Amino acid sequence: MFYLKPMTKLSVNINKIATLRNSRGGDVPNLLQVASDIQEFGAQGITIHPRPDERHIRYQDAYDLKPIVITEYNIEGNPIRKFMDLVLEVLPKQVTLVPDHINQITSNAGWDTITHQSYLKEVISEFKNAGIRTSIFIDSDLKLIEAAAKTGADRIELYTEHFASAYEKGNKQAIKPYTEAAVFAHELGLGINAGHDLSLDNIEFFKQNIPNLAEVSIGHALISESLYLGLQNVVNMYLHRLS
């Protein structure tokens, strides 16, 4: 089933730019300039995911980016106290809660919002009191989405790795639980974001089948594609597919 929807916002995760910078210990590429350029190219948001070991985005980057990000600033991470204090000081437009471990290479699961509902309620209340929109990184399980709505979160971010992996193998039916999840979340009053392994190859199909998709956060694929096609070109290719 296909849906006619307004354009979905593109938020570009710039963690990989920070990884490249850190590999030489200097300031090339300049993270702030890249973030500024990405917005100039048309992206409607910048996402960062600082981790405790600061192996890519450093905590200081979050502060330095604050005056640079004139679109939507989204900070992702596990809400340990250090992360929460950072977010409450920077005051981004959105915080996305991700249950990753300290040494995890990349996020590979959504929240168990049933088991951790009380904890998430406390965390989300603190962020919302500061005027920050909250989003929960989550799988497409409807029971978990129902529990997410009870935490007070404003949005969910659908964890899309399973879809992307199946789509690459030709299994387009893998979109069905994501469509159902989006419909259910909307009925519960939750906004819908999505991210993880979305790419130029699958983003248009995903967008066409997910009603009320407000925002996608894309980093690894977008930066990798830009090595061949150029950053400005790739940002505009995503915007075209999302329109």
> Is 56 a catalytic site residue?
no
> Is 186 a catalytic site residue?
no
Bridge partners (DSSP) listed for residue 10: 216
Bridge partners (DSSP) listed for residue 193: 157, 215
Instruction: Report yes or no: 203 and 242 within 8 Å, Cβ to Cβ.
Output: yes
Residue 26 DSSP label: S
Rounded CA-CA distance 41/239 in Å is 10
Out of 49, 72, 215, 225, the active site residue is 49
> Is 49 a catalytic site residue?
yes
Residue 159 DSSP label: E
Amino acid at 228: Y
Out of 76, 157, 215, 225, the active site residue is 76
Q: What are the DSSP E strand ranges found in the chain?
A: 9-13, 45-48, 72-77, 94-97, 133-138, 155-159, 191-195, 213-218
Q: Which two tokens stand for residue 42?
A: 């048309």
Q: Which two tokens stand for residue 212?
A: 């009320």
| Burial of residue 20, with CB atoms counted within 10 A of its CB: 0-12 exposed, 13-18 middle, 19 or more buried | middle
Out of 56, 72, 157, 196, the active site residue is 196
Catalytic residues: 49, 76, 196
